[in-house]
Structure 1
Amino acid sequence: MTSFASCSDDYYVNLNLNTEMELPQGRESVLHFFEQFRKQYPTMRNFYARERGELVLEEDKDSGHYRWTSVEPKRICSGQVNPVVLEDAMKQHRLVLELAPYTLSVSPLDCESLNLMFGFDYTYRGNHNQ
Structure 2
Amino acid sequence: MASKHLEHTEDLHFRVLKLLQDRPDISQRELAQRLGVSNGKLHYCMRALIERGLVKLGNFAHSKHHLGYAYLLTPAGIAHKASMTSKFLQRKMAEYEALKSEIQALQREATGRRRLEQAPP
Query: TM over 0.5, yes or no?
Result: no
The structure with the largest helix share of the pair is 2
TM-score category, normalised to shorter length: under 0.3
The structure with the largest strand share of the pair is 1
Higher relative contact order (CA 8 A, sep 6+): 1
Q: What TM-score do the two structures reach when normalised by structure 2?
A: 0.26
Q: What TM-score do the two structures reach when normalised by structure 1?
A: 0.25
